Chain A
Amino acid sequence: GQQLNQSPQSMFIQEGEDVSMNCTSSSIFNTWLWYKQDPGEGPVLLIALYKAGELTSNGRLTAQFGITRKDSFLNISASIPSDVGIYFCAGPSYGTASKLTFGTGTRLQVTL
């Protein structure tokens, strides 16, 4: 099946730093979603991207739909302790809008 690879796998940053992470696929996606999972909880949708080249912000978060349609990027500015968690990219599997493929996740730790 399709695979979404995320990098880095984990990050340790200091409060106030900016964060960048990305997601790459071997095949084209028409939609990119970014979810965040707090420790012990289910994922929550942060940002949805529907068009190649699209840049969308949600507060301190900014995500971009790559021009090749095979990648997406998420940036977090001025990180705070509550940014701790796992960030997943996701997209509908090829050929069907009914199945979502999730990336492997980027675990973010923020130190004071």
Chain B
Amino acid sequence: NAGVTQTPKFQVLKTGQSMTLQCAQDMNHEYMSWYRQDPGMGLRLIHYSVGAGITDQGEVPNGYNVSRSTTEDFPLRLLSAAPSQTSVYFCASSWGQSSYNEQFFGPGTRLTVL
């Protein structure tokens, strides 16, 4: 089992560019989520999904889109990158549809927006 995989590991973008952060899990988990981590602020939920075809907003959704066409994949799209989106992004998954089940995190994507 690879668990939760994220690509790329590092990315530098210019302001206004768009890109997609990839996330995949091979554990057949229903729940998947995206967080961003900024110094001193912990992890903040961007979007989450409780199953294929179902997504919802988290705490900081502005500037990001998600879709969940399969159980395995949950990509995060930055529509027009801004310096405020410089952060480390983590994808996570868990069984069931609740956030309080053990979430398994990917290794993260470190994004810098110039």
Contact = CB atoms under 8 A, between A and B. Distances in A.
A88 B103 CA distance: 13
B103 A100 contact: yes
B43 A88 contact: yes
Nearest to A42: B105
A27 B58 CA distance: 18
B103 A45 contact: yes
Interface residues of B, number: 27
Q: Is the interface of A mostly helix, strand, loop or mixed?
A: loop
Contact of A43 (B31, B58, B105): B105
Interface in A83-104: 88, 91-93, 97-104
Nearest to B35: A102
Interface stretch (B14-22, B73-81, B90-98): B90-98
Nearest to B110: A40
A34 B105 CA distance: 14
Contact of B98 (A4, A40, A42, A92): A92
A102 B107 CA distance: 18
Task: Specify which of A33, A43, A100 lies most central, judged by the most chain B CB atoms within 10 Å of its CB.
Answer: A100
A41 B107 contact: yes
B29 interface: no
Interface of B: 4, 31, 33, 35, 40-45, 48, 50, 56, 58-59, 90, 92, 97-100, 102-103, 105-108
